Amino acid sequence: MATSASASAGQTKVTASPNVIPMIDVMLVLLIIFMIVTPLIANGFQATMPTGANLDKRPEGVDEVVLGIDMNGTYFINGLLIPADALPDQLKAIYAAREEDKILYFRAHQGLKFSRIQDAVEIARQAGVRVMAAITEINTAGMNIFGEKKK
């Protein structure tokens, strides 16, 4: 806030005027951010599970739990089909008996919308899962780790 003092015949007059230039700058930056972000939110995000290079193949362990989601959004636990409404109860039953090692391995279809993956992660967290690990596919199609063709 800027102030100015002027003296006339022994009297001091103080006026205050707000400095709005920084506020205008902030408002313009926010406007630009919202102009860019709003169309992205409206279109939705596409989840892409990572692919890896130089991965070690190892078989799944006996106590490991793998949650899979296919392109239709159907859930599988260790390869067995699980209805969506039964998934929370199944996961709670599995992880209630475990005192430690509450790890869930997660595998999802590449074309799945992010909201479906987010729902599955939330269901797993509420069921008692403490650590989630994504299962990656080995990249053998001549692509880099970002899913782009190598140059």
Per domain, the residue ranges of the chain are 2-43, 51-138
Percent of the chain topping pLDDT 90 = 16
CA distance 110 to 70: 9
pLDDT of 145 > 50? The answer is: no
**Topology (CATH level 3) of domain 51-138:** Nucleotidyltransferase; domain 5 (3.30.420)
Per-residue model confidence (pLDDT) at position 128:
87
Q: Count Cα atoms within 13 angstroms, Cβ side, for 126.
A: 10
Q: Region 34-39: what's the mean pLDDT?
A: 84
Q: Token pair 């509420």 is at which residue?
A: 126
- Please tell me the least confidently modeled range out of 10-24, 88-102, 117-131, 135-149: 135-149
Backbone angles phi, psi at 5, to 5 degrees: -125, 130
What residue type is 103 in one-letter code? I
* Terminal CA-CA length for the chain: 56
CA distance 128 to 63: 16
Per-residue model confidence (pLDDT) at position 144:
44
Per-residue model confidence (pLDDT) at position 28:
94
Per-residue model confidence (pLDDT) at position 25:
93
